[in-house]
Amino acid sequence: MEGHDSKSQEIFSKILRAGRRTYFFDVRSTRADDYYLTITESKKHTNDDGSAYYKKHKIYLYKEDFLRFKDIFDEVTKFIIDEKGEEIISDYEPNPSIPDTDDDKKDKDTSSFTNIEFEDI
């Protein structure tokens, strides 16, 4: 519980489920009884034996950074929407204007190709 009492875990929470990812937005309390935000990304993975496990990544956001964080978040999301629109692009096609690296060429060697299904990731 990161050194805080259990009360700090129950202040306010919102959850966003997005396929194999879940985002948790949790308001917590500092020792000085001020609030801060944690954003946790939890992504489901599968072990070789079929059992599931979750990888989590967390950021802590404090009030003094809220406005700058929001401004930059708004700016970069606007840039993405302006450049690529709101349509989801899910098929990957290599960009012919970007030269292959040696690592890319190794990846294209079909003699060492391993078929991996999305469920395996």
Count the neighbouring beta carbons within 10 Å of the beta carbon of residue 39.
14
pTM given for the model: 0.61
Higher pLDDT, 86 or 100: 86
Q: What is the pLDDT of residue 24?
A: 96
Task: Report how far residue 60's alpha carbon sits from residue 106's, in angstroms, rounded to the nearest whole number.
Answer: 39
Q: Which regions of 47-113 does DSSP assign to beta strands (E)?
A: 52-62
User: Given 3.10.450.700, 3.10.100.10, 3.40.50.12780, 3.40.80.10, which CATH number is that of 1-87?
Assistant: 3.10.450.700
Give the Cα separation of 47 and 41 in Å (integer).
19
Residues 29-72 pLDDT 10s: 999 999 999 999 999 889 999 898 999 999 999 999 999 999 99
